[in-house]
Amino acid sequence: MSLTLIVLLPFAGALLPAWAARRSRSASAWTAGAVAAASFALLLARAPALFAGEVARAAWEWVPELGLRASFRLDGLGFLFAFLILGIGLLIVLYARHYLGAGDAMGRFYAYLLLFMGSMLGIVLSENLVLLLVFWELTSLTSFLLIGFWSHKAAGRQGARMALVVTGGGGLALLAGILLLGAIVGSYELTDVLAAGEQIRASPAYLPALALVLLGAFTKSAQFPFHFWLPHAMAAPTPVSAYLHSATMVKAGIFLLARLHPALAGTPEWFFLVTGAGLATLVVGAYVALVQHDLKALLAFSTVSHLGLMTALLGFGTAAAAQVALFHVFNHAAFKAALFMNAGIVGHETGRLDLRRLGGLRRYLPVSAALAVLAAAAMAGVAPLNGYLSKEMFLAESLDLAELRALPWLVPAIATLAVALSLAYALRYVVGVYFGEPARFDRPPHEPPRAMRLPVELLVGVCVAVGLMPMLLAAPVVAVAARAAAGGGAVPELHLALWHGLNLPLLLSAVGLAAGVVVWRGAPRLERLHESALPLPEAKRIYDRALEACAAAARWLTARLESDSLQRYLALLLATALVALAGPLVAAPVEAGDAPRIPADPLSLAAWVLLVAGALGTVLRHRERIVAVVLVGVVGLVVSLAFVHLSAPDLALTQLAVEVVTVVLILLALELLPRRTPVESSRARKLRDGALAVAAGAAVGWVSWLLLTRPFESISGYFLAESKPRGGGANVVNVILVDFRGYDTFGEITVLAIAALGVFALIDGLGLPNAFRVAPDDEARHPLMLAVVARLVLPLALLVAVFLFLRGHQHPGSGFVAGLVVGVALILQYIASGIGWTRTKMPRDFHPLVASGLLLAGLIGIGSFLFAHPFLTGWFDYFTLPGIGKFELTSALVFDLGVFLTVVGGVLLILVHMGKAAESDAVRLPETGPRGE
């Protein structure tokens, strides 16, 4: 359980800082920090067991039929990443408290940050691959919110959208890849997938699955040529950049490569795709970083470059190289977070991020300068810092490479070049900001608040300490992660040390660093060359153009499909349905079935004539709207009579009550709609519509006939047999509604409540005056006789409703019917006495009624959890009281009460607001005449 809590706590606590922000900004930061710290503590509490070799698991069934389980695991790999996510996350919380200005919504920021943190933790602690994907996409969504946090800035919005499109699109590819893997292995559980490496690599679907998974990983980790979103994401507030681009978001792709390493790695395809992309990214990122002016852009491209390094190492496909990659993940997180925060401090104190307008800051910010020098040296791989260790190991691994026998020098040469470029851009950052010609400032900048610098100090401390004591501080956690990434395969003993003797990697390193100084010296010239002579295709422009083309294609298609005419849509829809139905209808047996028929009696025939007359009359007289409403009412009444005759008393009651309410409703609406429909359809149009109507009617009538004349096996035997013993009610229809299929009914009253709220919202939006006028002609509009009768009827109607409600479980009647009867009786008061009068006697607001009905039905459903039964399990028992005799108590009655309250509230909410609109003169419009008048 505590394993799942690590992931769930940030989600559960995401709203707390937003709530605390109402008190104070510090309260908000403290709450966010407390949530993250709680999660961190749970993680650390599991460390001893983990280092003892235990892999913790926790699982809940989700959709077992599809192989979906909500299952989590904590192994070394997950631990390393979760440690970084939470550890650096805590530092970011502290840093952001002072970084964000007074105008920034701090509560919202921390809420997003915690959601993102939870999503990241979900990725690294998922056992089920589909669950992993869900969290993967959640990071895309939450990072969108974080990157676009300054939504007033166009760059922020665009950067957020670009990150979402690229990483979200990659997520779709990953989904397809995961489905392929699941199809090969037959399970989405990581334990099974990782154990099935041989099987996966031998499968014909290996290559497509690999390509799709890599697409997901490369887009997330900003590998070339998908690297372009990362620098644009720098429009985010710096704490976001520091978090997303050091320890989390972009590391998710690296994590995925390491996670699936045992399943996918070790083939030539893996080597060439992964190492190829990694090396290209390593060099391109480093080169572009060298020619940036913006501090954050420089760091962004250096991140791209370092991600390339880790990817390349994972591409080598050996356990040893993967171990080095994981060590570099750790190191990079420390020095890059420190550098981003440092850049944020520079921006915060000077308001500038452009290298051309900075310089000599070491006089004003001596401590920050020292910290920046150390962090940048770690990034460049200078001894004795942590970056040096992983860089040396990278060089050593590149020399050990077994593939590429034809060109053994190629990878080491690229690695050495990258070392040189890395030192050059590190120098450019440090010298450009803190040394050299001092920039002019109107107000001399000063050191930031201590709390803002503290995270940087801690991180730089980590860089130094790990460099000096790697075996003590880093080796255990890296080794346990590497063992997990090897999936049970052998991992060489991890030996971290500054001094390995005079060897080839050391030589390459020295050559690289020396070349780096030369490159740095030439950087200004390179920059000019880059800007004038090298017309490199700019990725953003290509992306923009592709996006524009997509939008244009969508517009073209929409214009083709949409004519903005409902009549045309409906006609097309019906015609399509008829055409689709034609085939099966022609193939269907022509003759009627042989089920026993019921002879028609004269009364039924008369009802049929009435119904047909009503329906056809509605069509013929539909222009006179009031007449048409009456005719539709006739049809409705005949339908309820049909239900009575055809053994469905509950339906007849409900239909009757609904009929009354509907007619009242339509008449109210007619107050605001024209009373007549103008003539405007052409003759051809009428013929077309008539033909469609006749065809549809004939088809449905024919199908009904074929259906009705055939015998069938009902599935209702169960309900009939179990209604009394298990539902405790004799009225099977009611027992189905409130017990067997109670969940459906719950959904249904929810829909009714939503419809009622929708009606309310639509009428409320009209901006009607709140006060009701009591017109002088009120007497005339509300005749005395009607008012008196209505008031007399009310108690009677309420009594009938109670009767219908209570007997519902055993005899025809139910919460629905009772609710409708009460609704009609109350509406009658409004009609008889006017809204103004009735409002003084009744609650003004029916929302609470609807809400309490839904709540009651939901609570009684949840109540069955207390007895370890599924949602809405019914309960009943018989009791005997002296004087009353034996009676039954059932939970279904309470559920039905919820239904009743929702129906009453919903009906009143709809009718009263409709009446309110109808009584108001503010919205009355002149009659619309026929066209052309």
Structure tokens that stand for 162 in this block? 């670009």
Q: Which is nearer to another protein, 777 or 927 (CB)?
A: 927
Least distance (Å) between residue 805 CB and another protein: 15
The stretch among 261-269, 482-490, 501-509, 626-634 that binds another protein (CB under 8 A) is 626-634
Span of 281-289, 360-368, 421-429, 740-748 interacting with another protein by CB under 8 A: 740-748
Site for another protein in 527-566 (CB under 8 A): 563-566
712 touches another protein (CB under 8 A): yes
The footprint of another protein on residues 886-925 (CB under 8 A) is 903, 906, 910, 914, 917, 923, 925
Q: Which of residues 748-787 bind another protein (CB under 8 A)?
A: 748, 751-752, 754-756, 758-759, 762-763, 765-766
Which range, of 289-297, 490-498, 732-740, 795-803, touches another protein by CB under 8 A?
A: 732-740
- The number of residues that bind another protein (CB under 8 A) is 122
CB of 226 to another protein, least distance (A): 44
In this structure, what token pair is assigned to residue 751?
A: 């829909």
Report the C-alpha gap between 206 and 200 in whole angstroms: 6
State the SS3 of 405-469.
CCCCCHHHHHHHHHHHHHHHHHHHHHHHHHCCCCCCCCCCCCCCCHHHHHHHHHHHHHHHHHHHC
HSE, side-chain direction, 13 A CA sphere, residue 64: 3
Please report, as residue ranges, which positions from 683 to 702 form the binding site for another protein (by CB under 8 A): 684-685, 688-690, 692-694, 696-698, 700-702
Which 563-622 residues touch another protein, going by CB under 8 A? 563-568, 570-572, 574-575, 595, 597-600, 604-605, 608, 611-612, 615-616, 618-619, 622
Q: What residues from 627 to 646 belong to the interface with another protein (CB under 8 A)?
A: 628-629, 632, 635-636, 639, 642-643, 645-646
DSSP 255-315: HHHHHTHHHH-SSHHHIIIIIHHHHHHHHHHHHHHHT--BHHHHHHHHHHHHHHHHHHHHH
User: Which 323-342 positions form the footprint of another protein (CB under 8 A)?
Assistant: none
Taking a C-beta distance cutoff of 8 angstroms, is the pair 245, 300 a contact?
yes
Does 502 contact another protein by CB under 8 A? no
**Residue 653-682 contact track with another protein, rule CB under 8 A, x = bound:** -xx--x--xx--xx--xx-xxx--xx-xxx
Which candidate, 336, 433, 323, places its Cα nearest to that of 379? 336
Q: Which stretch binds another protein (CB under 8 A): 254-262, 277-285, 404-412, 714-722?
A: 714-722
Q: Which of 515, 581, 627, 648 binds another protein (CB under 8 A)?
A: 648
Which residues pair with residue 56 across a beta bridge? 74
Peptide bond into 225 cis (omega under 30): yes
Least distance from C-beta 560 to another protein, angstroms? 14
Candidate segments 211-219, 494-502, 791-799, 812-820, binder of another protein by CB under 8 A: 812-820
Instruction: Tell me the window of 114-122, 211-219, 238-246, 720-728 that interacts with another protein (CB under 8 A).
Output: 720-728
Closest approach, Cβ 825 to another protein, in A, equals 17
Beta bridge partners of 61: 69
Q: Alpha carbon 584 to chain centroid distance?
A: 41
- The answer for residues whose C-beta is within 8 angstroms of residue 97's C-beta and 6 or more apart is 25, 26, 29, 106, 451
Axis crossing angle, helix 106-125 with helix 2-12, rounded to the nearest 10: 150
Q: How far is the CB of 611 from another protein (least distance, A)?
A: 5
Residue with smaller CB distance to another protein, 711 or 882 = 711
Q: For another protein, which is the closer residue by CB, 595 or 796?
A: 595
Cα dist. 120→88, 129, 242, 252, 644 in Å?
Answer: 13, 14, 15, 8, 60
Cα–chain-centroid distance for residue 854?
Answer: 26
Q: Please, what is the minimum distance in Å from the beta carbon of residue 753 to another protein? A: 9
Q: What single-letter amino acid sits at 497?
A: A
- Please report how the helices 475-486 and 76-99 are oriented relative to each other, as an axis angle in degrees rounded to 10: 130
Is the Cβ of residue 647 or residue 840 nearer to another protein in the bound state? 647
CB of 807 to another protein, least distance (A): 10
Smallest distance from another protein to CB 842, Å: 20
- Is residue 927 classed exposed, middle or buried when 0-12, 13-18 and 19+ CB atoms within 10 A define those classes? exposed
**Shortest reach from residue 689's CB to another protein, in Å:** 4
For another protein, which is the closer residue by CB, 24 or 567?
567
Please identify which residue in 2, 709, 864, 873 interacts with another protein, judged by CB under 8 A: 709
Q: What's the distance, CA 649 to chain centroid?
A: 45
Measured between alpha carbons, how far is residue 536 from residues 223, 228, 539, 637, 870 in Å? 17, 13, 9, 77, 63
Q: What is the rounded distance in angstroms from the CA atom of residue 630 to the CA atom of residue 549?
A: 54
In the complex, minimum distance from the CB of residue 41 to another protein, in angstroms, rounded to a whole number? 50
